[in-house]
Chains A and B, each alone.
Chain A
Amino acid sequence: NAGVTQTPKFQVLKTGQSMTLQCAQDMNHNSMYWYRQDPGMGLRLIYYSASEGTTDKGEVPNGYNVSRLNKREFSLRLESAAPSQTSVYFCASSDLRSEQYFGPGTRLTVT
């Protein structure tokens, strides 16, 4: 069991570039989540998918889009990166309202 995997681990973008962060889980969980973590801000939810075929906005969705490709995969897209999106991004999955399993994170720098 790999658990939750994320790619890439590190990324540097220039302002205005686009990229997609990939996330996959092999635990057959229905729910998947994208968070960002910034110093002193804790975890902030960007988007989540309660089940395959549904996605909903979290606390900080502006500048991001998501796709729940299938039950295993949930991607996060930055269409036009901004320096304010410099952060560490975590994907997580869970059964309904149970504990979450987190990936190792993607460290993104936008210059």
Chain B
Amino acid sequence: GDSVTQMEGPVTLSEEAFLTINCTYTATGYPSLFWYVQYPGEGLQLLLKATKADDKGSNKGFEATYRKETTSFHLEKGSVQVSDSAVYFCALSDRGGSYIPTFGRGTSLIVHP
């Protein structure tokens, strides 16, 4: 079946540091890939997405590129802020498969001033 593996946290950074959160996937079909963000006390919200190989999703300074050859969708940001402290979830939706999306376990990011 489909699966998503993302790096364990917490990831602790100083403000203005470079961020990478790794995400790799396995899928039987041809998936769409997503990053969601969850701020404390809130529900998940879509951060960015990519629907085909070599697509780059971007939003709020975050980027991720759909790499089919390495089955990866790593999240990056050049300069993090304290307000980026949250939990980040990588997910896939297999367009040829079931209605159930597959989520990673989440990675907590803590940014210190």
A residues sitting closer than 8 Å to B (CB atoms) are: 4, 31, 41-43, 45, 48, 50, 58, 90, 92, 94, 96-105
Contact = CB atoms under 8 A, between A and B. Distances in A.
Contacts of A105: 42-43
Given A90-B44, A102-B43, A102-B44, A48 B106 contact: no
B73 interface: no
B41 to A, nearest CB: 8
B52 to A, nearest CB: 14
A111 B49 CA distance: 40
Interface string B45-60: 1100100000000000
Interface stretch (B17-25, B76-84, B97-105): B97-105
B94 interface: yes
B42 A97 contact: no
B65 interface: no
Q: Which of B43, B45, B101, B104 has the most CB of A within 10 A?
A: B43
A45 B101 CA distance: 9
A97 B105 contact: no
B93 interface: yes
A42 B46 contact: no
B95 A97 contact: yes
B95 A90 contact: no
B89 interface: yes
A100 B44 CA distance: 9
A96 B103 contact: no
Contacts of A41: 105
B43 A43 contact: no
Q: Which of A41, A58, A105 has the most CB of B within 10 A?
A: A105
A31 B49 contact: no
B66 interface: no
